[in-house]
């Protein structure tokens, strides 16, 4: 009898804990202070896609087996982990007296805990203002035990909500998707432990089929503000916590699409599209089953390529298709042409099992002769660093706010963004694909508080798994987006074995073989921009001077020179921004750069008089670590109202230059029109000249038939007849009605 009870107890434990070795409640420190434990039961990363029941539903974006869990959840917050609830995952536990919180949201913005802003240091072990007496330093500034987090001050947020699952989900595989949770969290469903995840800026997905049921289900999540993963998330922004992106469940059939990778590049002549797609399938049934896999590539509503493969295997298998697309419409930031790829699985009787669709673009990205080329053409990245920030909601961004950014970028001659310093949500990339932006996709790695010497986590082999996982999961999720033209290993984390391993892993996992960059690969022996280490394909320093730009431009480099951060835009800055671009436009190997940064990152706070103001470091709590206003370096305010800097940037980034080349003997003003576009002839625009004096328009002239190829110039002549003027040292002086003034010739361009 005792043996039977013991066996039953063991089986019950396995059921409630998915047979994990450790108890996530009792042994929580095993998870949150152990760099070797970065997840439990979390599914491998895969390309972003949605499962549909038919092609019609796919084209209408109408998924049947999808349920969004955003909204109001019950919420409990404690400062000290020992005070956190421990039986809340039981659906019978009463949580009615808990607070409510929005999902997604940041706790601190919603009034739970203190937002902390620091730049270099870890907020939980900052030598300038220690908030926990159980944390230790070595050599005055470095955390003594990287991976350890405070025992008594490590806020914990516990979430719970109920939801229903319809009966027609019963024969499906059911998955939970948590878009982003910071810093690390445990998940239960119906009292059954599902898993653990950290790495706060990529999705956590779990197979919840065995725990889910028809009807009412109870999901519970417990998130710790700081984990060992926080040592890789030391970015220059407000350090805040919570579920920051969408939470949803979805279902797929027992034989399902697991992942797919699209390679859509160009042939050597940069004319025809070279298409390849590899599809991974998983069979959750115990028996083999014959299925037919189809693909269809659409240009608008026209099928340009299609194919079918038959498969009869169990468990996991892959199948591939390839094709040449003659005279493919190419994708670039200037002309973001997209095709629709439809993938479909059918059973042996022709019945549809599953369908998905995605947008793809044909473009090649390569480095040749030390230059970055897209579609065989030298490009210039007129970029900004950008973050997820909204003054109303912290690090939670709506699609409306994302679109506000994109529209401002396109209107102000910004064609590239570096995601500083973590990957964004799925929708962001889809919109960049659609509207045309070059994306540097950056892994969620910055260990700035350990700096770059002997304590750097980059040099510590025990942190290899944590580093490489973040890089590879980013690549696996975002590999099919044409807007992603460069991968970044991270930011300000030193250099060492973990970044060499990460570089190799990215190259191995990306069939498109995009360039990889990192800003810190200076060699220990002799750190020089002209001899960066092997784990960067691009020279991407930070804050080079004008003199350094020109020095590099005059030199032959083996890699493109594209500073990852320059023109620090804090306060009344960027006044000399045009000077950078006067130099950049002279030299091929100077291929742009990324302004630090796009937007001031303050959040709204209300004072005792009911007045709202933009708060920054030091405005919350007492004796907190702070770097004060240093998070406000943008060229737009937090609500995206333009600062004067934005207009300066727009002017300097202009794609068309007009250069005065003097007046000829026929009284015509010579103007050299330079085309700085990479893929657009100026015959796509209408031009008009205005001759103005003292603000008055004296003459308007329409200029016809200007055709200027990319990266070239063409001289045009503007007649000054009927204008009374004299020329003194290249200054046109107009005299009419005894008024003497300087002439201004304005040329307007209309797309």
Q: Which residues are catalytic?
A: 492, 565
3-state secondary structure of 373: strand
3-state secondary structure of 129: coil
The token duo for 197 is 């995840």
How many Å separate Cα 666 from the centre of its chain? 55
The token duo for 187 is 């998940």
3-state secondary structure of 216: strand
Query: Using alpha carbons only, what angle is made at residue 715 by residues 714 and 717, rounded to the nearest 5 degrees?
Result: 145
Sign of CA dihedral 98, 99, 105, 108: negative
According to DSSP, the residues that pair with 174 across neighbouring strands are 251
The token duo for 703 is 């200029």
- Residue 358's contacts (CB-CB under 8 Å, 6 or more residues apart) are 47, 49, 262, 340, 341, 480
How many Å separate Cα 179 from the centre of its chain? 13
Query: Using alpha carbons only, what angle is made at residue 219 by residues 180 and 78, rounded to the nearest 5 degrees?
Result: 70
Inter-residue contact 32 to 228 (CB < 8 Å): yes
- Residue 409's contacts (CB-CB under 8 Å, 6 or more residues apart) are 384, 415, 417, 437
The β-bridge relationship of strands 592-595 and 381-386 is parallel
Backbone angles phi, psi at 714, to 5 degrees: -145, 135
- Residue 302's contacts (CB-CB under 8 Å, 6 or more residues apart) are none
Query: Using alpha carbons only, what angle is made at residue 337 by residues 334 and 343, rounded to the nearest 5 degrees?
Result: 150
What is the rounded (10 degree) CA torsion for 113, 118, 120, 124? Answer: -30
CA-wise closest residue to 451 among 185, 141, 698, 748: 141
How many Å separate Cα 707 from the centre of its chain? 37
The token duo for 343 is 């993938």
The token duo for 121 is 């240091």
Inter-residue contact 69 to 249 (CB < 8 Å): yes
Residue with tokens 């290993």: 489
Backbone angles phi, psi at 713, to 5 degrees: -130, 160
Cis peptide before 597 (omega within 30 of 0): yes
Q: Give whole-number Cα distances, 692 to 9, 492, 696, in Å.
A: 90, 51, 5
Inter-residue contact 31 to 196 (CB < 8 Å): yes
CA-wise closest residue to 354 among 280, 419, 413, 287: 280
According to DSSP, the residues that pair with 411 across neighbouring strands are none
Inter-residue contact 635 to 645 (CB < 8 Å): yes
Backbone angles phi, psi at 126, to 5 degrees: -105, 120
- DSSP annotation string for 22-91: S-TTTTHHHHHT-TT--EESPPPP------BSSHHHHHTT--SSEEE--EEEEEEEESSGGGS-SSTTST
CA atoms within 13 A on the CB side of 677: 18
The token duo for 630 is 């240093």
Task: Name the burial class of residue 27, with classes exposed (0-12), middle (13-18) and buried (19+) by CB atoms within 10 angstroms of its CB.
Answer: exposed
């Amino acid at each position: 009898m005792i043996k039977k009870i013991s066996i039953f107890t063991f089986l019950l434990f396995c059921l409630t804990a998915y047979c994990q070795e450790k108890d996530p409640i009792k042994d929580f420190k095993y998870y949150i202070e152990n760099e070797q434990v970065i997840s439990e039961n979390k599914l491998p990363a895969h390309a972003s896609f949605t499962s549909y029941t038919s092609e019609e539903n796919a084209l209408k974006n109408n998924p049947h087996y999808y349920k969004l869990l955003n909204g109001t959840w019950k919420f409990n917050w404690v400062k000290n982990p020992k005070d956190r609830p421990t039986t809340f995952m039981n659906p019978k536990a009463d949580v009615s007296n808990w607070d409510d919180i929005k999902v997604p949201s940041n706790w601190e913005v919603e009034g739970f805990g203190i937002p902390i802003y620091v730049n270099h240091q870890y907020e939980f072990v900052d030598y300038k203002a220690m908030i926990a007496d159980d944390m230790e330093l070595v050599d005055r500034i470095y955390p003594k035990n990287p991976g350890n987090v405070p025992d008594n001050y490590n806020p914990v947020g516990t979430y719970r909500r109920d939801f229903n699952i319809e009966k027609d989900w019963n024969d499906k595989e059911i998955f939970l998707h948590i878009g982003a949770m910071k810093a690390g969290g445990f998940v239960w469903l119906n009292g059954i432990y599902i898993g653990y995840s950290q790495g706060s800026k990529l999705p956590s997905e779990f197979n919840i089929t065995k725990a889910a049921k028809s009807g009412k289900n109870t999901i519970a999540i417990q998130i710790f503000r700081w984990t060992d993963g926080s040592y890789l998330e030391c970015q220059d922004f407000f350090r805040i916590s919570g579920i920051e992106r969408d939470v949803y469940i979805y279902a797929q059939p027992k034989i399902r699409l697991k992942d797919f990778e699209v390679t859509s590049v160009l042939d050597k002549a940069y004319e025809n599209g070279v298409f390849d797609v590899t599809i991974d399938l998983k069979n959750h049934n115990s028996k083999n089953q014959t299925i037919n896999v189809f693909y269809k590539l659409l240009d608008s509503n026209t099928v340009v390529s299609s194919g079918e493969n038959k498969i009869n295997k169990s468990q996991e298998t892959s199948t591939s298709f390839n094709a040449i697309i003659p005279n493919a419409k190419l994708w670039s930031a200037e002309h973001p042409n997209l095709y629709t790829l439809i993938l479909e699985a059918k059973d042996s009787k022709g019945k549809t099992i599953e369908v998905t669709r995605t947008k793809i673009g044909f473009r090649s990205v390569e480095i040749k002769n030390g230059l970055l080329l897209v579609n065989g053409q030298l490009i210039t990245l007129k970029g900004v660093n950008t973050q997820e920030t909204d003054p109303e909601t912290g690090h939670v961004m709506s699609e409306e706010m994302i679109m506000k950014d994109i529209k401002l970028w396109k209107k102000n001659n910004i064609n590239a963004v570096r995601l500083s310093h973590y990957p964004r949500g799925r929708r962001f990339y889809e919109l960049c694909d659609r509207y045309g932006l070059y994306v540097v996709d950056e892994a969620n790695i910055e260990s700035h508080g350990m700096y770059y010497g002997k304590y750097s986590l980059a040099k510590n082999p025990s942190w290899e798994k944590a580093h490489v996982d973040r890089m590879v999961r980013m690549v696996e999720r975002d590999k099919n987006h044409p807007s992603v033209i460069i991968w970044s290993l991270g930011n300000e984390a030193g250099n060492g074995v973990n970044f060499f391993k990460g570089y190799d892993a990215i190259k191995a996992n990306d069939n498109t073989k995009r360039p990889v960059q990192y800003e810190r690969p200076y060699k220990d022996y002799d750190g020089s921009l002209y001899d960066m280490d092997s784990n960067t394909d691009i020279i991407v320093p930070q804050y080079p001077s004008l003199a350094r730009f020109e020095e590099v431009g005059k030199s032959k480099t083996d890699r493109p020179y594209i500073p990852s951060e320059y023109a620090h835009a804090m306060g009344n800055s960027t006044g000399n921004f045009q000077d950078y671009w006067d130099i950049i436009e002279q030299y091929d190997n100077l291929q742009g750069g990324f302004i630090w940064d796009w937007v001031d990152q303050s959040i709204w706070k209300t004072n005792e008089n009911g007045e709202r103001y933009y708060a920054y470091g030091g405005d919350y709590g007492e004796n907190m670590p702070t770097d004060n206003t240093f998070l406000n370096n943008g060229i737009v305010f937090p609500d995206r109202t333009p600062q004067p800097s934005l207009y300066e940037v727009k002017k300097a980034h202009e794609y068309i230059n007009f250069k005065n080349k003097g007046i000829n003997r026929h009284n015509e003003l010579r103007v050299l029109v330079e085309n700085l576009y990479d893929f657009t002839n100026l015959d796509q625009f209408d031009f008009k000249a205005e001759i103005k004096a003292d603000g008055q328009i004296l003459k308007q002239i329409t200029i016809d038939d200007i055709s200027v190829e990319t990266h070239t110039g063409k001289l045009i002549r503007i007649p000054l007849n009927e204008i009374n003027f004299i020329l003194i040292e290249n200054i046109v002086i107009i005299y009419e009605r005894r008024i003497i003034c300087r002439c201004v010739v304005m040329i307007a361009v209309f797309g």
